[in-house]
Structure formats: structure tokens, C-alpha cells
Amino acid sequence: MELDYLILYVNDVDGVATWYQDVLGLEPDVETPAFVRVRDDAGVGVAIHEGDPLDNPERVQLEFKVEDLDATYERLRDEGVEFAAPPQENPAGFRYVTTSDPAGHTVELRSAAE
């Protein structure tokens, strides 16, 4: 498992994304009006997502890539980890499952669609 990116919920996607690009030199790999993801040289990303940070109790969302989503889901579920739902397909071309860490941060595990 490896950290792929984390999500920051912000009121000004363009302003925050521009800061990460101009100040830290991170290059965008996904850009939409409500979502921009930038990556560092190691490939770890910061996704800047539209949303009021004070209205998002999780405030930060961590995304982890896994090789076998179903096996990882079953192993963690058997260890007592609670998930919002079983693995799901996303139209963007990946499968995912969501849980929370003990502090309430959203943690998403994902893999390429089969």
C-alpha cells in the first residue's frame, strides 16, 4: 500500500492550487473547476477540492493505492475495520472503498478498475 494523495477541502480551489504550483513547484495532473490535484517529484499528490473546510468534519482525506482492493477490504473487514460500503466502481476508472481513521479522517483505498 502506498499513499497516493490527500485531499484538502478549500473555499478557493484556484487560489490554493496556484499557491502549490507557484510556491512549491508542484505540477497539476488533474484539473477541473472543483478539483485540482498536484504532485511532487515522488508522485505523492495534494488534491485541492471545493468544499467548506469547516463543514467537512474529516477536513483531510487520505487516498491509498492498493494492488488488490477486494483482498485488502476483506482482510481489514475481518480485522474489525468498518467501511461505509463494500468496494464500489467510480466512473473515473477506479474502484474504491472508504473508512475513517480513529480521529475521523476519511481514508479511501483504491485500485484500478478491473
47-70 pLDDT, tens digit per residue, is 999 987 777 655 678 888 899 999
CB 30 within 8 A of CB 36: yes
Q: What is the pLDDT of residue 94?
A: 93
Q: What is the pLDDT of residue 57?
A: 59
**pTM over cut 0.75:** no
For residue 62 the three cell numbers come to 487520505
User: Does the pLDDT value for residue 1 go beyond 90?
Assistant: no
Domain 1-64: give its CATH code: 3.30.720.120
User: Does the pLDDT value for residue 105 go beyond 80?
Assistant: no
Domain 66-114: give its CATH code: 3.10.180.10
Spell out the domain ranges in the chain: 1-64, 66-114
Q: What is the pLDDT of residue 60?
A: 78
For residue 17 the three cell numbers come to 492550487
Mean pLDDT of 74-101: 92
